[in-house]
Amino acid sequence: MLKALQSPLRLMLERLELLFDKPFGPPWNPMRQLGTLAFFFFWVSAVSGIYVFILFDTSVSGAYPSIEYMTHEQWYLGGVMRSLHRYASDGMVVTMVLHLLREFSLDRYRGVRWYSWFTGVALIWLLMLSGISGYWLVWDQLAQYVAIGSMEWLDWLGIFGEPVANNFLTRGSLDDRFFSLLVFIHIFGPLFLLFAMWIHVLRVNRAKINPPRGLAFGSLAMLVVLSFIHPALSHPPADLGTIPTELGLDWFYMFLYPAFDLLGPGALWALSFGLTLLLFVLPWLPPLRRAKAPEVFLEQCNGCTRCFDDCPYGAVIMQPRSDGRPFLQEAVVNPDLCTACGICVGSCPMSTPFRSDAKLVTGIDLPTLSLDTVYERMTAAIAKARMERNTERPGILVVGCDHGANISTVEGDATHAISLPCIGMLPPSFVDFALSDGAADGVMLTGCSDCDCHHRLGIVWTEDRMAGLRDPYLRKRVPRERLHSYWAGPGDLAALEDELQRFRDRLIENGT
């Protein structure tokens, strides 16, 4: 049933991603950087918030005038900082919601990823608390509406001895002590949020938390321009003797308040708790069927730690040697953290086809798709490509992944393909082997979209290995003009076919 939700959502988001790919290019595409952008907007809010706080008067009577002063008298700095603070926090909501929808649509929330999802749900509440509490501090009519609404909502739970909404009953009832409590919530809410954001990415090996510099500068510039042309302004000052009527809500944070007026506190608690609970348990509805984790073959493992370094999920640990061989360490896989992506297989120095053994046994291997099977499939594909090739049609081996464009459709015209759980499973020596002695005329590598590897690091490691920047690297002797990579997601099949044709034409031109 969830598939019926995921598929149209994926289609919609994929359109947006491809649309942004054109002007920005994949590395700067905001749709592919949603988590890092949310982090960036947090920092912008934090820095601008510190400046605003310096000018802010934390008393009931002084709060509003101090904010008016920075907005109108010091508009060029205080006003801009106030606007940046508001727009960056709105940006956090937008990027967070899109990030949630995207991870869900890509099915990147179940299995070992449950942890990031689960902690992500807590972030929604913390972000809402941080944002809404900020609006209280302006102490204008919007603050009055939101603060009273929030307190009445809380009072419904009956957890406080005396209703907290009583602090807002009459003109004189709000005192500086209670107002300081509101300030305190707005300072500690974001600090908790930051702590929870750290917890959120704790299990993500080499988590990317900063957007590319250009995207960060561009986003900041956009917020600054917005702050100048549309500065954040206050409503008239709060007056507990009157009921505010005309209010401009910040819908990013205040979408629940009209629902509160409409449904009442009980129904709203039921709705928000129900939705939160549903989000919390989503990774197990149904749980992801776990693929078998790789096995370590100690007789081939020299404890080099490459699989430990390359695993995107931190599923490999290094332990003291247990078999008496003269190495310090050996690799051990924690099946609870493993997604069976095979990236460790691609990183193992023993994963080489240039061996005389009858069966290819490497240091670490997938039980469901052994490297020996990959080798057999690859040699069969190359043999077919060789049979079909001629001067007009070079024999090409395409190696792709199960999460990218469906490469079985590019087969034909002396082109044959094999698919792996992740392109990072391909040891560079296999490319060397495929191109040596004219076995294949060309090798094309593909996988998920650029900067969007399903297993996070498969594309990065593959590019680094092919470029000789990361062990195990592709030997220098391999003719680079016969190797090409193009990263194409499931929606980029046409672009992949075009790129393949261009590669084919180039190989013919070069006379290979």
Which listed range, 100-108, 146-154, 174-182, 330-338, lies at the site for ligand SF4 (CB under 6 A)? 330-338
Total residues in contact with ligand HEM, by rule CB under 6 A: 27
- CB atoms under 10 Å from CB of 160, counted, come to 12
Contact characters 250-289, ligand SF4, x per CB under 6 A = ----------------------------------------
Contact characters 348-387, ligand SF4, x per CB under 6 A = xxx------------xx-----------------------
**Beta strand 329-333 with 316-320: parallel, antiparallel or unpaired?**
antiparallel
Instruction: Taking the CA atoms of 412, 490, 403 and 432 in sequence, report the sign of the dihedral they define.
Output: positive
Which one of 31, 60, 70, 127 is in contact with ligand HEM (CB under 6 A)?
A: 127
208: contact with ligand HEM by CB under 6 A: yes
116: contact with ligand HEM by CB under 6 A: yes
456: contact with ligand HEM by CB under 6 A: yes
**Secondary structure (H, E, C), 373-386:** HHHHHHHHHHHHHH
List of residues 6+ apart from 116 with CB closer than 8 A: 103, 109, 200, 201, 203, 204
| Number of residues in the chain | 512
**Secondary structure (H, E, C), 478-509:** CCHHHEEECCCCHHHHHHHHHHHHHHHHHHHH
- When CB distances are held under 5 to 8 angstroms depending on the partner's kind, the choice from ligand SF4, ligand HEM, none that residue 116 binds is ligand HEM
Instruction: State which residue, 256 or 317, has the beta carbon closest to ligand SF4.
Output: 317
Least distance to ligand SF4, CB of residue 320, Å: 13
**Residue 355 phi, psi dihedral angles, 5° rounding:** -140, 155
Question: DSSP for 231-278?
Answer: -----SBP-TTS--------HHHHTHHHHHHHH-HHHHHHHHHHHHHH
Asked whether the beta carbons of 368 and 340 are under 8 A apart, the reply is yes
- CB atoms under 10 Å from CB of 73, counted, come to 11
Asked whether the beta carbons of 397 and 500 are under 8 A apart, the reply is no
Instruction: State which residue, 78 or 131, has the beta carbon closest to ligand HEM.
Output: 131
Instruction: State which residue, 183 or 348, has the beta carbon closest to ligand SF4.
Output: 348
Instruction: State which residue, 211 or 353, has the beta carbon closest to ligand HEM.
Output: 211
Residue 115 corresponds to which tokens in the numbers above?
């942890």
Which one of 138, 341, 431, 451 is in contact with ligand SF4 (CB under 6 A)?
A: 341
| Helix (H/G/I), strand (E/B), else coil: 180 | helix
94: contact with ligand HEM by CB under 6 A: no
Place of tokens 């193992």: 348
Contact characters 374-393, ligand HEM, x per CB under 6 A = --------------------
Instruction: State which residue, 123 or 399, has the beta carbon closest to ligand HEM.
Output: 123
- When CB distances are held under 5 to 8 angstroms depending on the partner's kind, the choice from ligand HEM, ligand SF4, none that residue 293 binds is ligand SF4
Which listed range, 31-39, 132-140, 239-247, 360-368, lies at the site for ligand HEM (CB under 6 A)? 31-39
Which listed range, 10-18, 22-30, 294-302, 393-401, lies at the site for ligand SF4 (CB under 6 A)? 294-302
For residue 173, the 8-state DSSP code is: -
Residues lying near ligand SF4 in the complex (CB under 6 A) are found at: 293-294, 296, 301-307, 311, 313, 315-316, 331, 333, 338-344, 347-350, 363-364
